[in-house]
Amino acid sequence: MTSAASLDPVHIAGDPATIGRRLGELARPVMDAYLAQSDAWRAVERWRGHPFVAALRAATARHFPALLDELDGIAAGLGRSADDVFLWNCRGELAHSTPDGCTTLAAVSPRGAWIAHNEDGDPCLRGRCMLVDVQPEGKPGFVSFYYPGSLPGHTFAANRAGLAQAINNVRLLEPRVGVPRMVLARAVLDAASLDDALALLSDTPRASGFHHTLGAVEESGEADGTARIVSVEATARRCSIEAVGALRGHANHLIHTGHESEAQIVTDSSRDRQLRLAQLLPGAEREGNADALVAALHDVAPSGLPIYRDDPHDPDGENTLATALMQPRADGVALRVVQHHVTTFDQLIARTC
């Protein structure tokens, strides 16, 4: 799909079915090989025809019918059944140890506000992901890192309302009937403001959950505005929203106060990365710039499992596919993408609404 030399976004526009079909067509050359080696796919395909999956689809149709059309369009573009593509996009609800990891840093300081994110995923996807620039009818539009066959949004993205989002997988063991988390992450990209995104995450019945780092510049009378970043742990049971006031990090398990009783899997890698972040953040905060955040995300720990993951035998089955640096600004979101220590994209996603 793309090489580390360039990550030029593929532009897609139209109604939901048209957008989905194009996303599916882009994924089609790699999808068979990707799923053939995927333990996650073998786990979710056992759910074909299950009433719980039918209930998840019904919840999606009720709350986000346009995104269900987008999913069915992906299936058409892939030449696969709509049921199978929906299953794949419910993998967080159906297979609790999927190889979708990630580490996120969020910083707010007098020098600026940033969201820095390692997108960790199946090593099979190395060099097989892309950026998509999507313009749905009547929505702000967005640029997102795109996994083949999945709704955009569950990785890192910025929309043209000035909203940045980075997603961290959390491995929850008690899903419920509700909207699948990947659908919710995609729905956030249609939000016209940070407050709209938070209301969506809080008010929609959730089937499982993600950690969302969200950032935007609040509208004000001043030209530059005020940057606001929040950490959201949205699970089937509760939605916890915490403002980021300085510098904080998040790996792949729930850490907000109040989530202690949630049944979750905390892998050795997630635990080690969270502990290593605690060691690195004071130094990064003193430096107080974007390069320090990227350096922290590229850290290879002297002991334990590293933040930057390039071991083909990683115990979670994940490698770092890209590092994103997003700076919410009054005029949009500045997005830089680094892959294997090479900058492959560096542009402003201009605010148009």
The residue with tokens 């002297």 is 302
Please state, for a pLDDT cut of 90, what percent of the chain lies above it. Answer: 88
Is pLDDT above 70 for 35?
yes
Is pLDDT above 90 for 287?
no
* Residue 200 located in a structural domain: yes
* Residue 65 located in a structural domain: yes
Q: How far is Cα 335 from Cα 218, in angstroms, rounded to an integer?
A: 18
* Residue 215 located in a structural domain: yes
Do residues 119 and 151 touch, judged by C-beta distance below 8 A? Answer: no
CATH of the domain at 62: 3.60.60.10
- Owning domain of residue 182: 10-350
Backbone angles phi, psi at 214, to 5 degrees: -120, 140
Which pLDDT band, with edges at 50, 70 and 90, does 301 fall under? confident
* Residue 204 located in a structural domain: yes
In this predicted structure, which of 16-25, 36-45, 169-178, 220-229 has the lowest mean pLDDT? Answer: 220-229
Q: How far is Cα 183 from Cα 134, in angstroms, rounded to an integer?
A: 16
In this predicted structure, which of 123-127, 156-160, 272-276 has the lowest mean pLDDT? Answer: 123-127
In this predicted structure, which of 41-50, 124-133, 219-228 has the lowest mean pLDDT? Answer: 219-228
The pLDDT score that the predictor gives to residue 221 is: 44
* Residue 2 located in a structural domain: no
* Residue 3 located in a structural domain: no
Q: How far is Cα 204 from Cα 336, in angstroms, rounded to an integer?
A: 31
Burial grade of 347 (CB within 10 A; 0-12, 13-18, 19 or more): middle
* Residue 5 located in a structural domain: no
Q: How many CB atoms lie within 10 A of CB 320?
A: 25
Domain count, the chain: 1
Q: How far is Cα 184 from Cα 234, in angstroms, rounded to an integer?
A: 10
Backbone angles phi, psi at 245, to 5 degrees: -105, -15
Q: How far is Cα 149 from Cα 20, in angstroms, rounded to an integer?
A: 9
Average pLDDT over the chain reads 94
Backbone angles phi, psi at 117, to 5 degrees: -150, 130
pLDDT in tens, 60-69: 999 999 999 9
Do residues 210 and 186 touch, judged by C-beta distance below 8 A? Answer: no
Q: What is the pTM of this model?
A: 0.96
Q: How far is Cα 92 from Cα 172, in angstroms, rounded to an integer?
A: 8
Is pLDDT above 70 for 129?
yes
Which pLDDT band, with edges at 50, 70 and 90, does 222 fall under? very low
pLDDT in tens, 343-353: 999 999 999 98
